[in-house]
Structure 1
Amino acid sequence: MAETSIRYLTMLRMIPRYPRTVTTSKLAEDLEEHGFQLTLRSIQRDLEKLSAHFPLMVDESARPYAWSYNASAAASMIPALDMPAALTLELARAYLAPVLPQRALEHLQPHFREAQETLGRRDNPLGRWPERVRVINRGLMTRRPEVNGEVLETITEALLKDLQCELVYKARSWPEPETIRVHPYGLIFRDPNVYLIGTIDGREGIRQLALHRASSSALLDEAVDRPKDFDLDQYIHSGAMGQPFHHTPIQLHLRCDTEFMLHLAESPMSLDQEIFNETDESFELTATVSDTMDLRWWLVAQASHLDLLAPEYLRGETMKILEASLQRQKAASIEAG
């Protein structure tokens, strides 16, 4: 392939989708890393030629000029999206739509649109796939809090570049919003919320910041102070996201109704889960888990289908919750007449 054609392809891959842009001077730097040494004027001429055939936009008010793809441009040019890749993208769209913030999905819409167009060609039966797939999250179908798009983009950039960021944030317990400096460690998508995990300057401990509570943000040109031993998976497995009641794991012992709880054999509660004393009616289960609020909610919700054999203190606390709930519903029934 002629060197000019290779240069064109390389340049096209370096241009982001609007609203992000790249200047001709930045393109010159990036092209030089790929072995192409060009003047700004040469790059400008190349881009003008390419814009006649590709959906490129230029901001002429910037100096040097800033280029981008049209926001609705096709997701890819080379190679063309094939059927297996299109089907995979369509599956991803069905799964991600209920859990990702709308602003994050907007960046993927051109990819999803190209996948749907590919599946719909030549009366392909795969084109009917979107009509036949749905993703339902467990639990209440609550409306997801809206995340400020600029905040999400600032935080993702901060995480990628290991930089600090500044947020205008209002925690549930704060009377007014505060401007805080954050050292971001990672993002956790826990439907329906998105949490930034990190530390706040001047405050102790690792925090979980719900992104929908941040109204504005700014990227700072200062490196994140992150502990070398911090691991996001270990943080999650510690039970930190589940409001732990104890810092050490517990040994859970359950006797479960087979008809309603057999799914635990397919989706174990822990790596060391064991099932024994199986009959047609019931089975027993032991698992090492974190004592979290989520666990207690689950035990209360499944109380009619299992016996909590151990630990004893957790059985007593679960019974208190159930008794208080029963008394409240009785009172409501009397009040309702």
Structure 2
Amino acid sequence: MSNTAVRYLTMLRMVPRYPKSITTPELASRLEGRGFSVTMRSIQRDLEKLSADFPLLVDEDSRPYRWSFDRDATMDIIPALDLPAALTFELARAYLSPMLPPRALSHLKPHFDEAHRTLLREKNPLGQWPNRVRVINRGLGGQRPSIDADVLEAVTEALLREYQCQLTYQARNWPEPEEIVVHPYGLIFRDPNVYLIGTIEGREGIRQLVLHRATEGAVVEEPTVRPDDFDLDLYIRSGAMGILKSEEPVYLKLRCDRPVLNHLIESPLGFDQLTSELDDKSFEIAVTVGDTQDLRWWLTAQAVHCDILEPAWLRQEIEATLEQGLRRVRQDP
């Protein structure tokens, strides 16, 4: 392939989708960083030539001109989607659609559409995938709170670029919304909410900010100050995403009924879980878990299917909760 053709392909990949755009000086700088020495006049001429075959848009009212791809343009630049890649996009559509707001999904829509066309074009049974797959979350399935699209876009960009972000945020215990600067560490999707994990400028401790409580967001082009030893998985395993009853972990030992709780063998409650087979009706597990309210809710719900062997204090606490609930149920309405 000629050097010119390689430059054309490299340049096309640098042009963002509308409403974002890029100027010819910015393209020249990025191309130079890739080893292409070319003048802005040549870039302008190349883009005008390429726009005859590709859905490129130009804002001629700005100086220098700003270029972008048509928002609804399909991504049919070589290499084309193959069947495995097309199926991957169909899976992504099924799982992401319930989780992200419409504007965030709109950035992926051209890819989703091209994937669906590929499956139909190949006359493959996978083309019927959207009609045969549904995503159902456990629990009562309450409606997800609405997240401001600008907030989500600002937060995700800040995370990817390792920048700070500014939010207008209303915590439950704040009398009114406040403008805060956040050092973002990660996002956690815990149905039905999306949590931004990070620190707030000028305040102590790692915070969990529920994104639907933010009404405005913007990227602050200053590097995030992040502890070297912070790990998102370890943070989750610590029990921090639950309502902590104490900082001390709990060594939990349960005798569980089969087959109702067999899923605990396939999906352990913790990375150190040990399972002991007893008989065809029961098994035991021993695992270290966070001392959270979620743990108590789960044990209360599973009380008819498992015995709490250790710790004794937690068994007594769950027993007291069940007795209180039974008294309430037996009361006259």
Q: Place the TM-score, normalised by the shorter chain, in its bin.
A: over 0.9
| Deviation string, structure 1 residues 106-158 (Cα, Å, up to 9, x no partner) | 22111111111111114322211222222221112111111111111111222
Corresponding residue number in structure 2 for 1:7: 7
Displacement after TM superposition at 1:76 (Å): 4.2
The TM-score with structure 2 as length reference comes to 0.94
- Structure 2 residue matching 1:58: 3-state secondary structure: strand
Corresponding residue number in structure 1 for 2:66: 66
Quote the Cα distance in structure 2 between the aligned partners of 1:122 and 1:76.
15
Displacement after TM superposition at 1:206 (Å): 0.7
Corresponding residue number in structure 1 for 2:297: 297
- Structure 1 residue matching 2:304: 3-state secondary structure: helix
- Structure 2 residue matching 1:53: 3-state secondary structure: coil
CA contact (8 A) 2:237 2:270 kept: no
CA contact (8 A) 2:245 2:292 kept: yes
| Deviation string, structure 1 residues 218-250 (Cα, Å, up to 9, x no partner) | 222322222222222221111111122222221
Corresponding residue number in structure 1 for 2:218: 218
Quote the Cα distance in structure 2 between the aligned partners of 1:4 and 1:277.
67
Q: Which amino acid in 1 is paired with 2:256? A: C
Given the alignment of the two structures, is residue 79 of structure 1 paired with residue 79 of structure 2, yes or no? yes
Corresponding residue number in structure 1 for 2:324: 324
Corresponding residue number in structure 1 for 2:103: 103
50-59 vs 270-279, which deviates more?
A: 270-279
Given the alignment of the two structures, is residue 118 of structure 1 paired with residue 118 of structure 2, yes or no? yes
Quote the Cα distance in structure 2 between the aligned partners of 1:274 and 1:160.
37
Of all paired residues, the percent bearing the same amino acid is 62
Q: Which amino acid in 1 is paired with 2:39? A: T
CA contact (8 A) 2:163 2:221 kept: yes
> What pairs with 1:126-275 in structure 2 (closer than 5 Å)?
126-275=126-275
**Structure 2: which 5+ residue stretches go unaligned?**
none
Quote the Cα distance in structure 1 between the aligned partners of 2:277 and 2:13.
60
Q: Which amino acid in 1 is paired with 2:135? A: V
RMSD over aligned Cα atoms: 1.6
The TM-score with structure 1 as length reference comes to 0.93
Corresponding residue number in structure 2 for 1:44: 44
Quote the Cα distance in structure 2 between the aligned partners of 1:247 and 1:67.
53
Quote the Cα distance in structure 1 between the aligned partners of 2:99 and 2:265.
26
Distance change in 2, residues 1:287/1:43 (3 Å)? same
- Runs of 4 or more above 4 Å deviation: none
Displacement after TM superposition at 1:105 (Å): 2.1
Displacement after TM superposition at 1:97 (Å): 2.2
Q: Which amino acid in 2 is paired with 1:8? A: Y
Q: Which amino acid in 2 is paired with 1:322? A: L
Quote the Cα distance in structure 2 between the aligned partners of 1:202 and 1:2.
54
Is the helix fraction higher in 1 or 2?
A: 1
Quote the Cα distance in structure 1 between the aligned partners of 2:67 and 2:320.
63
Corresponding residue number in structure 2 for 1:306: 306
Quote the Cα distance in structure 2 between the aligned partners of 1:271 and 1:154.
34
Distance change in 2, residues 1:16/1:268 (3 Å)? same
Quote the Cα distance in structure 2 between the aligned partners of 1:225 and 1:126.
45
- Structure 1 residue matching 2:79: 3-state secondary structure: coil
Quote the Cα distance in structure 2 between the aligned partners of 1:75 and 1:210.
34
